[in-house]
Chain A
């Protein structure tokens, strides 16, 4: 990722009276009559006012009113201003689509008709309009119509394309590939349902055709940097079906680790799942998750990562496991995750049971958290709430509070008190456990204190 982007500072060229920020429109209360420059014609003024009313009606969700204004706004297409003539078709298409999408009396046919007309408004908008139309059809379940439209749009050629048009064309191809993939997967299902014998050659041929078309298009889009989750998943599925695992792995590795691609956590997850499906070695799985841990330490796969590391015999990995689980619990999103808390409690218990061999790991982890975890996780308020909402969570947290913060910790005391009042047996054991390992608490705090003093 390139961290620094050179951009000419536009402020300088704006002169001293430019606003500190580029404003899309001058607020209308600051409007003064313009003294210089070309004067607006009455036609333009009327249409501008009309557009304001449409915008207003749209923003108040008054679709019928907007539609009525829209009828008169269509005349803007006959404007003589060059800049307006450029932007008017897009405005009409956008507003028209919005109205048709929401209006109670509109239907799919009308929208189809409108879109077809809009496609002819300008070369620049053709692909964009096509793509949006296809999205609309897809969302309304009209897969076949969408496929036809995709085929049509795919074959559209007009001179040189802009970068945006290029993207749109690629997307059209990719969506076509995706639909091919869906057709293919339908065939596959049918094939799996039927017996081998009943599955004719022709259907197999058909299925293969779909595969070929889908693979070509999908492979094409995956090469471009971007977020292509649905396409990658489909393509990998195709490849896996036909046993091209190397290609699949290559695609996924590229998708996850190519620095030109955005840091998509899903790419790592897909690779991990693929490797897991393939039964790859734990080492490679761990390495995938390790990278993911570096970028997204709060990812849900971190629990799986922790379980893997926990089982490892290497101290280094187990140390990493402790780090991972501690780090997961740093995040607000995991705050009330019982599984994560029980993982940590289990790990700490294990360390304590192991004659405090790795207590310094805990100390180290705790050291960076001791100033804020008590307030973040172990406050009196949270004790009350956790006890009310999730007893299991309260128990796990109380155990940790007892060990990490000592038996005078408010959280521990409250939960223990409530637990004992409710006469729950495990809270008695909890009390015993904490009492037993009070020395560990002392060691953790002592160590950390000395380290801070150092």
Chain B
């Protein structure tokens, strides 16, 4: 085992890291690091630490392609920041690297109270049961003591419930009062403690959202069956609704049309149901058999997979604290290393069981709160590496407490930055037995065990989130580079690096790093679909990654690299990269540039990967999305039109794409390189399966979607099924629309063929057809003279009243002159009554005369109701105007009324004769005028019981005392209540109440008194309201 002779020079410093993290992180570019004479002589040239000469791997396809059908049962949705944060309250101080977020724990608390009321209020509820009355009925008597009726409160609460989600929340004072009163004692659980715990949990969730170390290592592994580089293998991945089924899927790598290898699943996988979510799957081949370690939070299992045999489970261990790492030894069969969050590291041999090597709750080099621990094997089978966030040490199994060697330390020795932490160590045994890859959130390091603490290689990877998945593919000894894949969880980023050296020459990073497709990149090629579908697909495809693995294969002269990616939803995607030989073999230019020259030909930028599919907007347009859209525009990207023309809305129809349209898409210079038809078809099948599964998903498992209006009933089936009249025109219009979408242009009406016939104008509104006050006022407002109208109206109403008085006086005089003898004697039992009723004729004359063009006081009731007066009506009422029916209506009450005798009872002469003082006469008349109306026949709607109560006698039997008790200032509503207390004469107010309750269908001739006095105040108020 050779040690590289001259190493790249560099100063060595001890101590804590001093470098500030740069912003933006670009340190990975430009620098070539120190150089080294390739030989002892200068003419042999120099080599840099970071050489641009490397292998060139180009993606064969435009997207990552689904390998297996979607994990249909998966229904656990990822927590989003919106779930746990107050909106818009994340702030980031980049220099300090800190994030400030406001946790929305009150909402979660509310959810708890609603979902578990028994736990929250159970005991107090039982205690208060006797004292709370929840029914609608009134409590009487003794029952009222110590009992609070809560029906109103409940009603308000139910209103609140209906308004949930409403932005403008209004809390009634009653509720507010109740809250204030009860918040100190109502809760079963101490509110402060509950809130604290909840806040803690939310902080944990937020922390996990920012960085979750549980899936470190990745739950995806590839085991080639028949040695490295074989064309078949076994893919190990979790599946199922809770990602708790371990699948051993046989996969064959077959060359496609372009020579690139593509995987193809064979047969159904061997499945094992586990008792927890699979976090990590690590697999190694030792002695011809493959050993698999599977880690879930509290259980770890080991499997053996022998070629041609069913995988056999070997052993399962249960841990008390969550396991953080499980790696399989590449040296000895059936040996694994296991770390838990309690800081313990175990050597787990399938034969002998667990052996605890050490347990250190404290971190190694400096204090860090993270309980994460990791352990890998090293070149010596009895030495394990033991990592926490601060560094990596070597641990001898034979003497775990004594022999410890520092392998890597976050500090100035390795040139670390401030705040840097170890995220993932990986033993690169297959590339070089003494090399380890150590990834931090900023850089990747290659460390040689023989020269600890000083990394042989350091490179800033510039990934936005820490890489917690890594996979290494060893290069061949003939100068081929080792390929290292780094994968990030939340952003699904994938980075491909290459490095060489380690034994004869110093370790070097070669070639340009390359970013590979993410699963979410496929979103931009999705066919057009409804925003809901798109939103949901966004969530699905944008799920954090759960594992990365890769393999190399060869088909003839073409070398392929297959990269598999697993998402947390259990969806498995792959992409193929092809090794392209450098076209330009000059020593200065490492490899050929990309074939395209125009920037618009490039694939869409990664920066917009979180954008909703181009050309479609989804959900609420937040500021961020707006910005993203702007970015898209900046990049000169074009709207990607679905290549399939006919089934736009059924994107998941599972039909292969139209090859012609594909070809068109390719030749067009403004389009992104679209996925090939075969891949598009594959993607479509996947989408179809997914949407099928989605439809069968249980309702509560579906993600919340904003409420919308259904369009289903807008058109009938027949209407939709109708063949458009002009088929050619229809197709032409479609084409036009599509082109407009592509060019982001406008669709002008004439471009769609014949201009549509102009819509018939609606009937013009004739202001005169709407003589009521409201319409008048609206008309006046429309014209602009509202204030004039108002003043005029004020004046008019006063003038009208004056006129009404004058007219009444005139008529009275006329009637007195006539000197008609009344029949009032037969009506009354007493003299006073006779005199009271003497003025009847006058009132009735007036009320009957309302049919005639007499002025009607402009009370709101009257103005809102259709006018009875026909004075302003046009000769020919407009069809449909209220005038037509109002004229008919106006006849009705008059017709039904008996203009007969009792009206004469109220004549002022009669009243005078009875000795009623003049000033009280009017009030009396007002009062009695109602009675003149009331004895009309009960309307047919009145129930029979009521009708019977009305009795046969329609006369108004008013006693003297009754009449005298009627004060002059008494209004009709008051008298009504009084009348109700008056025993037998109940029918009088009843008819009144009936009239009001029966409402609008029938015009109730209100008496003058009511109109003039009772409604006086009302009118004022109502007017003010306008």
Contact = CB atoms under 8 A, between A and B. Distances in A.
Contacts of A448: none
A448 to B, nearest CB: 14
A398 B514 CA distance: 47
B288 A227 contact: no
Contacts of B590: 102
A97 B153 CA distance: 72
A195 to B, nearest CB: 23
B542 A59 contact: no
Contacts of B389: 21
A32 B80 CA distance: 12
Interface stretch (B96-104, B244-252, B812-820, B831-839): B96-104
Contact of A300 (B1, B27, B631): B1
A64 B596 contact: yes
A52 B452 CA distance: 36
A438 to B, nearest CB: 27
Interface string B70-90: 000000000001000101111
Contact of B29 (A94, A174, A263): A94
Given A28-B610, A91-B24, A17 B369 contact: no
A315 B88 CA distance: 77
A58 interface: yes
A33 B515 contact: no
Interface string B1-44: 11101111111111111100111111101111111110011100
B712 interface: no
Given A30-B81, A266-B7, A299-B450, A330 B605 contact: no
B35 A33 contact: no
Interface string A236-267: 00000000000000000000000011111110
Contacts of A35: 88-89, 91
B336 interface: no
B61 interface: no
Interface stretch (B458-466, B801-809, B1009-1017): B458-466
B367 interface: yes
A420 interface: no
B867 interface: no
A30 B610 contact: no
B451 A262 contact: yes
B525 interface: no
Nearest to A14: B98
Contacts of A136: 32
A34 B91 contact: yes
A140 interface: yes
Interface residues of A, number: 123
Interface in A298-314: 298-300
A26 B433 CA distance: 36
Interface string B652-677: 00000000000000000000000000
Interface string B323-359: 0000000111100000000000000000000000000
Given A17-B99, A64-B599, A170-B11, A132 B30 contact: yes
B363 to A, nearest CB: 10
Contact of A63 (B14, B441, B594): B594
Given A32-B88, A97-B30, A140-B588, A333 B464 contact: no
A22 B441 contact: yes
B491 A261 contact: no
Contact of B429 (A36, A69, A90, A332): A332
A22 B366 CA distance: 15
Given A60-B514, A226-B10, A262-B453, A20 B207 contact: yes
A23 B97 contact: yes
A35 B100 CA distance: 11
A159 interface: no
Contacts of B368: 9, 11
A55 interface: yes
B602 interface: yes
| Most-contacted residue by chain B among A36, A37, A46, A91 (CB, 10 A) | A91
B46 to A, nearest CB: 4
B514 A332 contact: no
A337 B382 CA distance: 19
A87 B94 CA distance: 13
A6 B624 CA distance: 41
Interface stretch (B415-423, B770-778, B822-830): B415-423
Contacts of B872: none
A101 B209 CA distance: 38
B406 A3 contact: yes
Interface stretch (A279-287, A341-349, A376-384, A422-430): A376-384
Interface string B440-463: 011000000011111000000010
B406 A1 contact: yes
Interface string A97-126: 110011111011000000000000000000
Contacts of A23: 97, 99, 210-211, 441, 465-466
Interface residues of B, number: 142
A61 interface: yes
Given A31-B624, A33-B624, A102-B52, A332 B379 contact: yes
B442 A24 contact: yes
Nearest to A52: B607
B98 A65 contact: no
A2 B89 CA distance: 43
B627 A45 contact: yes
A72 B869 CA distance: 79
Given A5-B366, A19-B210, A381-B287, A102 B512 contact: yes
Given A49-B634, A101-B52, A333-B379, A381 B288 contact: yes
Given A102-B512, A102-B590, A265 B211 contact: no
Contacts of A27: 210, 464-465, 490-491
A3 B393 CA distance: 11
Contacts of B90: 26, 30-32, 34
B409 interface: yes
A98 B92 contact: no
Given A17-B206, A87-B24, A132-B32, A108 B588 contact: yes
A63 B593 contact: yes
Interface string A329-365: 0111110010000000000000000000000000000
A64 B466 CA distance: 29
B454 A376 contact: no
Contacts of A182: 37, 41-42
Contact of B542 (A11, A29, A141, A330): A29
A185 B41 contact: yes
Contacts of B213: 20
Contacts of A191: none
Contact of A226 (B9, B98, B495, B587): B9
Given A29-B542, A94-B26, 12 more contacts: A5-B16, A6-B16, A9-B368, A23-B97, A25-B24, A29-B491, A58-B29, A61-B594, A97-B29, A135-B48, A266-B7, A300-B3
Interface of A: 1-7, 9-11, 14-37, 45-46, 49-53, 55-65, 68-69, 83, 87, 90-91, 93-98, 101-105, 107-108, 132, 135-136, 138-141, 143, 163, 167, 170-171, 174, 178-179, 182, 185-186, 224-231, 233, 260-266, 269, 296, 298-300, 330-334, 337, 368, 372, 375-376, 379, 381-382
14 contacts: A5-B411, A7-B411, A9-B367, A21-B389, A22-B421, A49-B630, A98-B30, A135-B32, A139-B51, A229-B6, A269-B3, A332-B379, A372-B332, A376-B331
Interface of B: 1-3, 5-18, 21-27, 29-37, 40-42, 45-48, 51-52, 56, 81, 85, 87-92, 94-101, 103, 203, 206-207, 209-211, 213, 287-288, 330-333, 365-370, 379-382, 389, 398, 406, 409, 411, 413, 418-421, 423, 429, 432-434, 441-442, 450-454, 462, 464-466, 490-491, 495, 512-515, 542, 584, 587-590, 592-594, 596-597, 599, 602-603, 605-607, 610, 622-624, 627, 630-631, 634-635
**What 6 A-B pairs come out closest when comparing CB atoms?**
A94-B30, A22-B419, A333-B1, A59-B515, A104-B593, A52-B607
